Every structure is written in structure tokens, then in C-alpha cells.
Structure 1
């Protein structure tokens, strides 16, 4: 992990919501968009590495998470608003474009950003997050339907929140460690910080509302993505079928796909050196 003492914390109102983010380094900006149930801290292994490569690494808490504002209501978490948050943050950083790296829900937001506002992205990196069209295709199969059972369970009011809050958010630790295939990827300190972030007032409902909004508001029509794109995929992801990496040329012509064996959904934590190596090569092409 990098020297956290060298990182700076920032806050600003962006797209009418107060966002918190962490920065490291100077140079061309790289936005790092975390997934569920994490926050900016997901990128603890990438912030220092990217700063060392000569980038300005920017890791926000997405709306609803950790220190960012938590608007009430499911509608506040529809995909268009999440994309507009990122667009506004890029502009707030004083640049027109940025490299964008997204994992899980952050990757879903990044996919849509590339479809809605490609002019704001230099290069796109997605880590274990399904392209919307591929997900719709695979969700029709029994395998992915079974893997996505939790997303259906999240549609129930109140009960998911109660399950997470039980025993001081003990479920969070089980989620990370039970689905991780590399022992030690998540330390006790890591789990403590994830539990602390999820326990902030309003956070767990906001985090689950991403799934509720996705079910209620499908988003705009998908478009072809022409941005140079790298997809990194941990092959032992329990929640997302590896078939989601197939057939993507139709929607993302020229996409580069790097499958990482022996790694689960939590690729930035389980294989940080490999992720950093791929980022170095893709963001700074020869």
C-alpha cells in the first residue's frame, strides 16, 4: 500500500451533490471509480503507483458512499445522475478529459460515461464490471441469474439494510473474505475501514439504492464505444460470469481484454501488481 500521508483529501459540490475524493501525484488525471461495497479506499494499491508513474490519481467516494453526500430516494441514484457526477468532477479538476478506471459499480458508471460523453475520456479501463448490453444478454441465462441473486434481494425494502447493520456490519467482512480467493488480500484494518464507511448515517441505504435504481430506471439506449478500452477481468468472480467478457467487439470495437487467472471479483486488492502493470502499459502507450 502507498504512503497515505502523501495523499490529499478534497471536497466540492459537483452536479448539485457534495463529493469527497482523495488525490495523489501530479500530471494527467486518472479517475478511479470504486464499486460496491467499497469507497475511495479500494484504490489504496493504485494511488501511489499511479502517482509514481507521473499521473494525478483521483479517487472519489461516489455519491452515497463514505464522506460524499447521500441524497435520499432511489431516483437520486439512476445512472444518468451518477454519470453527471463524474462529468462534473472532471470539469472541477480543471481539465476537459481524463483517463477513467472503474471497478464493479464504478465500472458500470464508466461504461455509461464512455457512451454518453466520450469527449471527456482519454482512455477507459474497466475491471470486473459488465458492459450493459452483455449483462442484459447473460442475465437471461440460468448461470448469471443465480449469480445475481443478491441484486434481486436488494429490491426488498429495509431488510438488506438490516442484514448489513447486524453485528456491527459483520456481513461486510464475510463478503470480502468469503469471495476472495487470495488469503490476506483484505487485512483486519481494511475490513474495519469498510465497516466504518458503510456505518455512516444513510450510507448503506444509498449504496443499496444503486441496485434499486438500476432495476427501476434502465438508462438511455446503449451506444457504441470508440474510446480506447481495456477490460481487466478476474476469472474467479463469483458474482459475474466470465461469459460477460465475450462478444464485446460489437459494442466496443477494438477492445483489449486481459483475463487474470486465480483472482476473484476484487482484482485491485488481490492482484495489485498486475493491475498497476496493465495500467502503466495501457495509459502510456508507446
Structure 2
């Protein structure tokens, strides 16, 4: 691992794998043994986002897999293009290579796009899903949600070399993030391949999926895996009253769906409240699929 640039951050107990699939060398951090749980990071983060959460899940008897998705962390790709389902295809290849047929999934922010695509397109691969800080894709669209997209123009037109530290500013975190933590999240952006992927991710994946959401494409499909959507109570505009109203009668769209809200947490919920996220996930695994 000493040859990785920049060096992989410290995270006791983790093992690091590099999984080769066609055109892609995926970095996967793993911890624990047992039934698999796959944690999909958000933006602009990577596997280390889960360094405080994955060991808690592993301590309850799970094998936890934390891949760096294309365009993030220490994963490298032959082809720089990123389209709407590129990361989904990548994830399926990694799961097959690691012989993970079915797993629990916990996903934050941009990682939830891939998790949701998997849940709708390949529900047999998903035992349960916990999605963090993103609205359910069957939820009705409202102009009140637009303020939650205020960061997007700058990322669609991201200039290489421009710092993304502002994404962790007040309004996105419940309390100031330590400088060392911020530097660790942003370290891979020193690689031109990762910095250059910012615009490709937003133009090729986030915008097309956001358009699908706004057009109600997913409300015409059925979400089959048991899904828990979690928000921080300081994550505006996703206040509880608005989210519950826009979700309406979720039974019309999902086999089993619940909402949960965590106090003193904002968008970067895994940094603000890692223990609460871990306990909600473990509880959902047990309640949503008790006879595993």
C-alpha cells in the first residue's frame, strides 16, 4: 500500500484490495467477516468516509466492503467517461469479482444514486438499503428542494485545481470539520484523474438522474428492497415535514420504506453522527430482514 499516491489514510483494522475488472482497477477497503455489507461513499469523499462506521458494523458480525467508485479515491479507469449507469456497471463487476451475490447496502449522497439504480434494476442483489442525505427517487418534486442543489452549478463547471473545501462549510455540516479530516477527504483530488472527474460525474450522471427524478420516472417503478432513507435534522431543505409530505403514501411506490432523522447532523451525516448512522443501519438490517 506504500506505493499508493497519495498514501492511503490510516484506518486500523482495514484490509485493502485492488479488484481488476475490464478497464477498471477498483480500490476496496474491507473489514470484518460474515454477511456482506457494501458502503458507497458520497462526493467528494471516498472509502475513508466510513472509517468510523464500518468497524462498528464489522463488530456485529458483518463483512464490510468500502469501494472507491469510479472518479474517486484510489480507483483508476482506462476510460475517463462517466455516464448515467457507468458506476452501476462498475459496482456489479466488483461484486461479481468478489463473489458477493447479495448484500446490505448503505450509501451516502452521490453513492446513493448507484445504490438506488442497483435496487431498481437488480433488486435480487440488495438485501436492504439505507440511503443517507438524499431524497427517495419516487418522492414528488417541489421547488422547495432547489436550495439543496445550490452547489451544483459550480461542480458542473468545475475548474481543475479549484478547491472543493467549501462543500464542507456551514450549512453542509452540523459543526466545523477538523482540518485533518477535511484534508483526508480531499486528498485524492490531487490526482488529475480524480479532479478531472468532477465535471464528468455531474454532467454524465448527476444531471441525467436528477432529470429522471424531476420527471417522476422512478415513481412509475416499484422499489422492492426494504429501504430506509435517513436525513440530518440540520440538512436543509430536507426538513421532516416537507420530506414526509412529498413522500406521500410510500406503499404506492415501495414494498417497504421508512424515514429516519438524526439530531445534530447535516448533509455530511457520516461525519456529524457516525454512531447514530451505524446503529440505524444495524437496526434496519435486523428489522427489515429478520430471518437471514
TM-score by length of 2: 0.83
1:110 aligned residue (97, 109, 115): 115
Task: Give the CA deviation at 1:58.
Answer: 0.6
The two structures, once aligned, show a CA RMSD in angstroms of 2.4
- Superposed, which structure 2 residues align to 1:31-180 within 5 Å? 31-70=38-77, 72-73=79-80, 76-134=81-139, 137-138=140-141, 140-141=142-143, 143-156=144-157, 160-162=158-160, 165-166=161-162, 169=163, 171-172=164-165, 174-180=166-172
Task: State the shift of 1:274 in Å.
Answer: 0.9
Alignment of 1:129-278 (within 5 A): 129-134=134-139, 137-138=140-141, 140-141=142-143, 143-156=144-157, 160-162=158-160, 165-166=161-162, 169=163, 171-172=164-165, 174-183=166-175, 186-214=177-205, 215-216=207-208, 222=218, 223-238=221-236, 243-244=242-243, 246-247=247-248, 248-278=250-280
The unaligned stretches of length 5 or more in structure 2 are 1-9
For the 8 Å contact 1:83–1:113, the answer to whether it is kept is: yes
Alignment partner of 1:13: what SS?
strand
Q: 1:153 to 1:250 in 2, by over 3 A?
A: farther
**Stretches of structure 1 lacking an aligned partner (at least 5 in a row):** none
Q: Which moved more, 1:93-102 or 1:240-249?
A: 240-249
SS at match of 2:196: helix
Spell out, residue by residue over 1:17-58, the C-alpha distance to the aligned partner (whole angstroms, 9 max, x if none): 211110000111100000111111111111111110111111
Shift of 1:251: 2.1
Q: 1:60 to 1:154 in 2, by over 3 A?
A: same
Contact 1:108-1:132 within 8 A present in 2 as well: no
Q: Alignment partner of 1:225: what SS?
A: coil
Indicate the residue corresponding to 1:6 in structure 2.
Answer: 13
* Deviation readout 1:206-230 (Å, 9 max, x if unpaired): 1332211133576795321111111
Larger displacement relative to structure 2 (31-40 or 252-261): 252-261
How many residues are treated as equivalent by the alignment? 268
The 1-side partners of 2:25 and 2:13 are apart by: 23
TM value normalised by structure 1: 0.84
Partners of 1:121 and 1:216 in 2: CA distance: 23
